Amino acid sequence: MHVNRSIQFLFYKTPIYDYILSKDLSAEIISNISDPWEGKRENGYNILNGYLSFFGETIKYNKSIWERNSSTDLWKEEVSSFNWIKDLKTIGSNKARIFLRNSIKEWITKNSKWSSKEWRSDLVGKRICALLSNFNFYCSSADDRFQKLVLENILKQGKHLLKNKLIDISGYKKIFAIKGMIAISVVFKQLRANLEKSLFTLLNEINEQVLDDGCHYLKSPKQHSEFLQNLIDIKSFLAEAKLEIPQEINECIAKMGLVLRFFKNTSGQLTTFNDSIHINENLIKQVIFRSNSNKKIPNFLEKSGFQRISKNKINLIMDCGSPSLENTYAGSLSFEFSVGKNQIVVNCGSPFVNNKQWTEAMKSTAAHSTVSIDNVNSSDIVLKKRIAKVWSQRREQPNNFWIDSAHSGYKDTFGLVHSRKIHIDSNKQILRGQDYFSQTTKNYERIAKRYSLRFHLFPNIEINVTGSKKKAILRLPDGTGWEFICSEPDIQIKESIYLKRKKKIINNHILIDNPIIPEKKIRWLFRLIK
């Protein structure tokens, strides 16, 4: 397969392939599509003032956005996707239009022929959709020559996208390319015949990527939301063209919308499991609204394994599923806990730069509110040779909820199974927990010495340990007080990092670090101070 792909890429570089793509570029439009998502006005003004900010990195450019000193690959891709058009669109000025037209024209000049980076299928799909769905904005007041140039280039990229058949991408990235395939099939008359096949490809991908419980297979709230957004876009494209929308798309949107509501905590944010970062709250609301998911939120996602308790302003979401092989985060049995608008216990989040060290750090067990043993991750995040098997069960009464869970991630290494019991009394505003290690077999690599129990706290929470070092007092941003109590000695407060909206924020975490005694129960609780 790899050899065939290499041969294909060699052909793409030839003048013959460019001739094939450039032949018959009569861009006759039979339907328009629009971008249903709002941009950020602040970002738009920053762009006009010479600054581009993506993924935590701000770069100043001179006369052209394509001329800049340095940036990560991820940052470069975001610029080349033209997703930022919507930010300039919010300004609506002719200055913004002229800037866009100049930027688009320059990109076309530099990238008129295929290249492995700029013409990768998912990036082409993003760029096609951004250019087509905002066409009426940036082409307003533009001459016919410019409009012809843009449409022919989009058509050329679209023909390549259809011919390429997604051979250069896999997994999650496919949805962006497929959306582009559907967009050009809807818009251009000469490509409309490809619509049925493109929709068939989409339905196959839905079956591959969306689990039976409605959760995306990567089990990341952020990527779940993005996949859902793309489906909503596709539905919008078909609706604008007055074309039939397959029932499978409607059903998947509703099902994924329900799961997105599942991942939303009481603060209005999404939990930060498995490569998730904070997303703008208004965008979350828009996605949920457009998903039209009105059913009752489930308390358990059977296939992905997430557990949820939500009652009397208390919200707890716990990762009780086995990690994804493709997107392995070693956060088994970690949880996030919020009360009202206050987030209390969180995970560290996801890296937003292509940095191996950062990525591994955020995937580690230590970056999650759970237990690690001897600084070993509960799942192998690099080689994927050791992936924790996780199981859980729950029971509940009107105001009391219990979750019993365990994972096998330390079985081969230390001969131990980590179990965690959670109890919430929503009336008394109490979260109780219990962690312990069961000895399973003597066929293990080494003897475990110490456990580290961590609770990462949301930024702006003040915390002080009492003299006994078995109790800590938490002061939340709204002024309410909570106490943390542990059966084990020596509560420590350590510095941590929380990633919010692509920014690194210094926060604290509670650490209990002691020798391991198999079967000994480590009891702890968070309780509202009356």
Report helix, strand or coil for 121. Answer: helix
- List the alpha helices (DSSP H) in 333-487: 356-363, 411-414
Pairing of strands 503-515, 492-500: antiparallel
Q: Helix 221-240 vs helix 247-263: angle between axes, to the nearest 10 degrees?
A: 150
Q: Is the pLDDT of residue 383 over 80?
A: yes
**Residue 2: which pLDDT band, with cuts at 50, 70 and 90?**
low
In sequence order, what are the residues at sequence separation of 6 or more whose Cβ sits closer than 8 angstroms to the Cβ of residue 423?
400, 401, 402, 430, 431, 432, 433
At 235-264, the pLDDT tens digits run 999 999 999 999 999 999 999 999 999 999
- Rounded CA gap, 458 and 460, in Å? 7
Supply the pLDDT for residue 163. 93
Residue with tokens 């058949």: 165
At 56-83, the pLDDT tens digits run 677 888 778 887 766 677 778 888 999 9
- Rounded CA gap, 147 and 129, in Å? 16
At 75-122, the pLDDT tens digits run 788 889 999 999 999 999 999 999 999 999 999 999 999 998 999 999
Q: Is the pLDDT of residue 3 over 60?
A: no
- Rounded CA gap, 32 and 371, in Å? 53
- Rounded CA gap, 299 and 520, in Å? 30
- Rounded CA gap, 386 and 325, in Å? 10
What is the mean pLDDT of the segment spanning 439-466?
90
Percent of the chain, pLDDT > 70?
96
In order of 73, 93, 100, 141, 331, the CA distances from 97 in angstroms are 26, 7, 5, 8, 46
Percent of the chain that is helix, strand, coil (3-state, to 5): 40, 25, 40
Supply the pLDDT for residue 352. 63
At 191-247, the pLDDT tens digits run 999 999 999 999 999 999 999 999 999 999 999 999 999 999 999 999 999 999 999
Q: Is the pLDDT of residue 295 over 80?
A: yes
Mind giving me the DSSP string for 2-27? HHHHHHHHHHHTSHHHHHHHHS----
Q: How many CB atoms lie within 10 A of CB 2?
A: 6
Supply the pLDDT for residue 505. 77
Report helix, strand or coil for 143. Answer: coil
- Rounded CA gap, 337 and 279, in Å? 18
At 399-429, the pLDDT tens digits run 999 999 999 999 999 999 999 999 999 999 9
At 498-530, the pLDDT tens digits run 876 556 777 899 999 999 999 999 999 999 997
**Residue 327: which pLDDT band, with cuts at 50, 70 and 90?**
confident
| pTM for the model | 0.93
Tokens of 500: 């919010």
- Rounded CA gap, 15 and 22, in Å? 10
- Rounded CA gap, 127 and 349, in Å? 28
Which among 151, 153, 205 is positioned nearest to 177, based on CA atoms?
205
Q: How many CB atoms lie within 10 A of CB 82?
A: 21
The angle formed by the CA atoms of residues 125, 130 and 132, to the nearest 5 degrees, is 95
Residue with tokens 């999404």: 270
**Mean pLDDT computed over every residue of the chain:** 91
Q: Which domains does the chain have, with CATH numbers?
A: 2-209 (no CATH), 306-528 (2.70.98.70)
Supply the pLDDT for residue 498. 83
The partner residues of 300 in beta bridges, in order of sequence, read 307
Report helix, strand or coil for 319. Answer: strand
Which among 279, 205, 298, 295 is positioned nearest to 246, based on CA atoms?
205
Q: Say if residues 72 and 22 touch (Cβ distance below 8 Å).
A: no
